[in-house]
Structure 1
Amino acid sequence: MAEVTNDLIYGMLKLVHANLAEVKFDVHELKKRMTGAEDALAGVNRRLDRQDDRLERIERRLDLHELAETQKPYEPK
């Protein structure tokens, strides 16, 4: 078995430190990407909300709100 020396321990600590720095960098990049995805999703939600508002105004203007209510099924006579 190899003798454990300060140089060996120091070399291992340098490797651990380098790996940790790489992991920190990767986590930082993932956070940036996640923030971008969240911003994009928020933009889509805002756009859908605007479309819902426009559709509601159109329905009110055309007096179509009754169609949105539940009605009895059509029964031919």
Structure 2
Amino acid sequence: MSEITDIVVPMLRRLEEDLASVKDDMRMIKVRMTGVEENMAGLNRRMDRLDVRVERIERRRDLVEA
């Protein structure tokens, strides 16, 4: 029985370490993805404002029907 224990216990410890590493990596990925999503939201707001500005310029210059 101790031979099996000698083999299995180190494997389980290694698996536990690998799982902890994967958890840390996933946590970092989530943090980075949150940052990307926040930046995309800001970019979308800026693009929406550009659309409004272009429409106003077009109306002022009589480039489009009001």
- What RMSD over aligned residues (CA atoms) do the two structures have, in Å? 1.6
Q: CA deviation at 1:37?
A: 0.9
TM-score, normalisation: structure 2: 0.83
Greater than 6 Å deviation, 4+ residue runs = none
Q: Which ranges of structure 2 fall in alignment gaps of 5 or more residues? A: none
**Structure 1 gap segments, 5+ residues each:** 67-77
What TM-score, normalized to structure 1?
Answer: 0.73
Larger proportion of helix: 2
What is the Cα deviation at residue 17 of structure 1? Answer: 0.3
Bigger radius of gyration among the two: 1
Residue 52 of structure 1 aligns to which amino acid in structure 2? D
Q: How high is the sequence identity, in percent, across the aligned residues? A: 50
Larger RCO (CA under 8 A, 6+ residues apart): 2
Q: Provide the C-alpha distance between the structure 1 equivalents of 2:27 and 2:34, rounded to a whole number of angstroms.
A: 11
